[in-house]
Amino acid sequence: MTALPDADGLRTATNQAPALVGHNVVTSDLALTEAITRHGSAELVEDLAPLGAEAGTEEAREHGRLANRHHPELTTYDRWGNRVDEVEFHPSWHWLMERAVGHGLQAAPWEQQEAGDQHAHLRRAAGFFAWSQTEPGHGCPISMTYAAVPALRADDAIAKEWTALLAARSYDPGVRARSAKTGALAGMGMTEKQGGSDVRANLTRAVPTAEDGWYTLHGHKWFTSAPMNDVFLVLAQAAGGVTCFVVTRVLADGTRNRLDVVRLKDKLGNRSNASSELELDGTLAQRLGDEGRGVRTIIEMVAATRLDCVLGSAALMRHALAEASWHVAHRSAFGGLLVDKPLMQNVVADLAVESEAATALAMRLAAAVDRPGDPHEAALRRIALPLAKFWVCKRTPAMVAEALECLGGNGYVEDSGLPLMFRESPLNSIWEGSGNVNALDVLRALGREPEVLQAWITEVGAARGADSRLDRAVDDTLALLGDTAGLETGARRLAGQMAACLQGSLLVRFAPAEVADAFCGSRFGTSYGGTFGMLTAGSLRTVVDRATPRT
C-alpha cells in the first residue's frame, strides 16, 4: 500500500529535535570529566561511567517525569483512626531513590574516606551532579543523608549507631526502628515559622527527661523536607541555649515517635519530594553535642548541604545547557540549523561558559573535602563554600531561563523538562542560607579567620599573569575589602566578585583557551551586559561544540 502524503505535517512532525536520551551524562560532559580527572583520576571517570549511562536512559528520564507528575500524599490517620503520619510516594520516586542510594550518593564517602579512599567525596560529588540530572527532588534526602554524618560525629556513640546505616547502599524505606533497617536516611529540622536564617530565635523547647542525654521536644518545625526519613537533626532551646538533637521517626522499641506531620508544602519547584510542617509535642530526642552548642553542631551538616546546593545548581545548569545545545544542533530556522546562526552561537556559548565555571568550582570544592588535614584546603572551603553557594545558586535561574528560551515555545512546555528545571532553579539559593545570608557569611569568615583570605589569594593567584582581565578583577576585589564602612551593604558585590575570580582562575588554568577567554572577557570589567548572549568575540562555535552532548 502506498503511504498517504503528509505534506501538511498533521500526523508526522518534522524539524523537531529528538529527545536527549541514550547519552552518557558523565562521559559526554567534558567540563565534568576534565574536572574529575584534574582533581582525581581518569579511572574515577571510568568508575562513574555506568552511573552516567543509566542517568541518560529514557527510563531514567521517564521516572523523573512521573515522580513529579504524581505528587507525594500525606495520610495523617489510618482507617481506624490511629495517627500514622505517612507520606506515600509514586514508584518512580522509589526507583530514583533506590539507584541514588545504590550508587553511594548518600553517606557512603565518609566511610570510604575512613577506609583510605582519597577521592571518595569527589567521586560522590560528580555522581550526585550527574544523577541529579535525572530529577532534582530526590537529591534532597540524599544530600541530607550525606550531610548528617559530619554533624553526628559530635558524639562518637551516636555516630557509631547511625553512620553504617546512612552509608549502606540499601534503600530501605518504611517506618521501622533502626534495628529493623538495612539502610537509613536523614533529614533536618531547623526552620520555624518565626525564622529560618536566624535559628537562634527558635521557639521549640527541649525538656530533659529522667534519662541522661534524653529530652522531650515541644514546638514546631515550619519546613522539614523528606519527613519519611528515619532520623532528623533538630534544633531546640534547652536550658543552656540552642541545642542540637537527634530525633528518630521510630523509637528503639518499635513504637512511633511523636512527630506529627501537619501538612505538606505546596511548592514552586519539584513536586516529587515532600516538604512538611511538623508539630513536636513530647517528641523524644537525644542530645547531640553540648547544650547551647546547637548551631556549632549542626553547622557541619549545613556546610555539607551547602556543597550539595552548589552541586545541585551546577547540575541544573549543565542539564539545561545539554538540552539547549542539543536542541539548537537539531532544529532549523530561516534555512539553517540554529547552531549555525552567529547570535545563537553567542547565547549557547555564553551558557556553556557559565555552566563550565559552575562545574569547575563545584568540583574544586568537593575535592577540598577529600583533604581534611590540609590547612589550605580547609581555609579555602570555609570561604569558597558560601561564595559558591551565593554565586552559583544565584546565577542558575537566569541561566536556566535562557536555556529554556533556546528551545523556543517547546521549552515552555512541560514535556521538554525545562519548566521543572526553571521552577526548581531558585531553590538552592534559598535553602540552607539564602543569598544574603551566604554573602554575610563570607564577611563573617573574612572577619574572624584571616587565613581564609590568604587561601582565596593563593587560589586565584595560581593563575596570576595568565590573563590581565582576571588579574585586574582580583586587584579590584581586594580593593573592595578596604571599604570597611560599606562592607555589609556591598556584601553581594564582594561575594560575587570573589566567586567569579575563583571561577576565572580555574578556567584560565584548566579549561580550553576559548572558554577561559570568553569568561574573562565577559564576567570581568564593565562590558558585560547582564544577560546571556552578549559575548563580544572569541571562538564561539568551539565553545558550543564542546558543550553539546553526544549520544
Ligand X SMILES: Cc1cc2nc3c(=O)[nH]c(=O)nc-3n(C[C@H](O)[C@H](O)[C@H](O)COP(=O)(O)OP(=O)(O)OC[C@H]3O[C@@H](n4cnc5c(N)ncnc54)[C@H](O)[C@@H]3O)c2cc1C
Please give the size of the binding site for ligand X, defined by CB under 6 A. Answer: 24
Nearer to ligand X, 189 or 386 (CB): 189
Q: Is 497 in the site for ligand X (CB under 6 A)?
A: no
CB of 441 to ligand X, least distance (A): 10
Nearer to ligand X, 6 or 198 (CB): 198
HSE on the CB side for 539, CA within 13 Å? 10
Contact 44, 122 (CB under 8 A): yes
CB of 389 to ligand X, least distance (A): 12
CB of 107 to ligand X, least distance (A): 17
Out of 436, 454, 539, 542, the residue judged to bind ligand X by CB under 6 A: 436
Out of 64, 150, 312, 435, the residue judged to bind ligand X by CB under 6 A: 435
- Return the H-helix or E-strand segment holding 214: strand 214-225
Write out the binding residues for ligand X, residues 181-210 only, by CB under 6 A.
Answer: 187-191, 195-198
CB of 426 to ligand X, least distance (A): 9
Nearer to ligand X, 35 or 166 (CB): 166
Helix (H, G, I), strand (E, B) or coil at 130: helix
CB of 488 to ligand X, least distance (A): 8
C-alpha cell at 265: 508544602
Q: Is 437 in the site for ligand X (CB under 6 A)?
A: yes
Q: Do β-strands 83-88 and 260-264 pair in parallel, antiparallel, or remain unpaired?
A: unpaired
What is the number of the residue whose Cβ is closest to ligand X? Answer: 196
The region of 81-89, 346-354, 375-383, 427-435 touching ligand X under the rule CB under 6 A is: 427-435
Contact 138, 96 (CB under 8 A): yes
Out of 37, 41, 332, 434, the residue judged to bind ligand X by CB under 6 A: 434
Q: Is 275 in the site for ligand X (CB under 6 A)?
A: yes
CB of 397 to ligand X, least distance (A): 14
Nearer to ligand X, 136 or 411 (CB): 136
Distances (CA, A) of 308 to 141, 296, 415, 431, 458: 11, 19, 26, 11, 24
Nearer to ligand X, 310 or 406 (CB): 310
| CA pair distance 96, 90, nearest whole angstrom | 10
Nearer to ligand X, 36 or 302 (CB): 302
Q: Is 214 exposed, middle or buried (0-12, 13-18, 19+ CB in 10 A)?
A: middle
Q: Is 431 in the site for ligand X (CB under 6 A)?
A: yes
| CA pair distance 142, 184, nearest whole angstrom | 10
| CA pair distance 67, 386, nearest whole angstrom | 31
CB of 430 to ligand X, least distance (A): 5
Q: Kindly give, in sequence order, each residue whose CB lies less than 8 Å from that of residue 150, ignoring residues fewer than 6 positions away.
A: 110, 300, 301, 303, 304
CB of 152 to ligand X, least distance (A): 16
- Amino acid identity of 367? A
Closest alpha carbon to 105 in 125, 134, 135: 125
Nearer to ligand X, 437 or 457 (CB): 437
The region of 38-46, 175-183, 386-394, 426-434 touching ligand X under the rule CB under 6 A is: 426-434
CB of 484 to ligand X, least distance (A): 17
C-alpha cell at 245: 538533637
Out of 427, 445, 455, 500, the residue judged to bind ligand X by CB under 6 A: 427
Nearer to ligand X, 35 or 242 (CB): 242
Nearer to ligand X, 319 or 394 (CB): 394
Nearer to ligand X, 25 or 280 (CB): 280
| CA pair distance 136, 421, nearest whole angstrom | 8
Q: Do β-strands 231-238 and 186-189 pair in parallel, antiparallel, or remain unpaired?
A: parallel
Q: Which residues are paired to 263 by β-bridges?
A: 277
Q: Is 134 exposed, middle or buried (0-12, 13-18, 19+ CB in 10 A)?
A: buried
Out of 38, 153, 205, 267, the residue judged to bind ligand X by CB under 6 A: 267
Residue numbers of the site for ligand X (CB under 6 A)? 187-191, 195-198, 223-225, 267, 275, 427, 430-437, 440
